[in-house]
Amino acid sequence: MWSTDFDSVLVHRRPGRKTVSIGVWFAHGAAHDPSALAGATHLVEHLTLRRCGGRDRRSLAELMDRLGGEVDAWTSSETMGLAVQTTSDALPEALGILRDAALEPSFADEDVDLERQIALAELDLMHDDPAERVGEAILKAAWGDHPLATPIIGTRETLENLGARELATHHRDRLLRHGGMLLAVVGDVDMNQVARELEGLPLGPGVKRPALEKPAWIGGRLRLDRGAADQVHVRQAFPAVSIRDPLAPTVAVVSRILGSGHSSRLFQRLREDEGLTYDVWSDTLLRSVGGILEVGWACSPDRFSTAWAMVEEEIFRLPSDISDREVEVAVQGMVRGLQMEAETAAGTASLDVAEVLERGRRFDIDSVVKEIRSITPEQVRDVARTILKPESMASAICGPEGSWEAGKLDRESMVL
């Protein structure tokens, strides 16, 4: 039986609380899939909660509903996870689902065939959604063929070649490898009971992710024509730092000032002042070996040229005139958002896992808040000057043919 002292077992005791959150995080995500198996981790994730531990689909679904909270599985570029939120009196059932989903998903041919069809339908849906297409394209424009720019879901070709044998081997050799899993437990639970119920999980004294190379910055421009579409969807991106970099919180402050929130530069100007778009935003995509600060928006084709010019103007003037007040507002918002997330059981589990995987330390709200509050306006200006350079910008546009010309983009530099 594994020890609850392992640093891959993350426990937050909350005596007297009814809510419990228990999850397992695999230190293997879609970016770690071999190119011939692209989408394998995502497809295994689908299978974990279809049938597991000998339960049929109907009885598993009914048990999940009885728990009253949430039973979820997900895949990201660098992790796959399973989590259960419920009340403490339902702990045995929650642990049973978690154990069986992690260790014994069904790889029966009929289950694999059905989930493959669902994944292919999901792929078609994504390709029909301009926001999804441009989101995928900006990663290619920024990082080219790097695994972090590969769609989590895989491709039609790889999905059609993934059979039961390949998926079962992928699950056994990559996802269940020793030292490749974290367990997070938050709530009023008996850890001896948790250890008994989850015996068999490959938990050990440490967790290690498969290595990824640092992505080279491409800074390309991609255009996707979409017939007589009603809107042009745009993403613009700049090279940022990795999630492990001490400057990651400062990059987040830059993003909040630029386009994350009601008082941000882009939202105030393009929506509130000019009415050019329903929504405009910025965000950070920070991974273990590299990061992106991106801006996204959509508007009608006849407004695209004006909107593009205004977005660029706001982006490139930001480093020179960030105010102390803007930094204060962004820092306060980050701190309070983090404090609210840490109040929930699920939030605490996610925050702790991320801190262990990315920074090799346990999550401590006071320490993280102190780090954020120590960010100075001059540090924010320096980071903005480093990141927001016109020559570094990558872009992706999805809209009616000719939209790119309105944006004064060099057609010769685009990859179709």
* pTM of the complete model beyond 0.85: yes
What pLDDT is stored for residue 401 in this prediction?
Answer: 77
Query: What pLDDT, in 10s, does the model give residues 100-115?
Result: 999 999 999 999 999 9
Which residue ranges make up each domain of the chain? 9-197, 221-415
Architecture of domain 9-197: 2-Layer Sandwich (3.30)
What pLDDT is stored for residue 405 in this prediction?
Answer: 62
Q: Which residues contact 181 (CB under 8 A, 6 or more apart)?
A: 8, 24, 25, 26, 27, 102, 201, 202, 203, 207
CA angle at residue 130 from 115 to 71, to 5 degrees? 35
Distance (Å, rounded) from C-alpha 323 to C-alpha 319? Answer: 10
Architecture of domain 221-415: 2-Layer Sandwich (3.30)
Distance (Å, rounded) from C-alpha 181 to C-alpha 172? Answer: 13
Residue ranges with strand state E in 277-326: 280-286, 291-299
What pLDDT is stored for residue 26 in this prediction?
Answer: 97
Average pLDDT over residues 47-74: 91
Query: What pLDDT, in 10s, does the model give residues 124-151?
Result: 999 889 999 999 999 999 999 999 999 9
User: Under DSSP, is residue 54 helix (H, G, I), strand (E, B) or coil?
Assistant: coil
CA angle at residue 197 from 184 to 26, to 5 degrees? 40
The answer to whether residue 308 scores a pLDDT higher than 70 is: yes
Distance (Å, rounded) from C-alpha 99 to C-alpha 102? Answer: 5
What pLDDT is stored for residue 376 in this prediction?
Answer: 98
Question: Do residues 267 and 281 touch, judged by C-beta distance below 8 A?
Answer: yes
The answer to whether residue 412 scores a pLDDT higher than 50 is: no
Share of the chain above pLDDT 90, in %: 85
> Do the domains at 9-197 and 221-415 have one common CATH topology?
yes
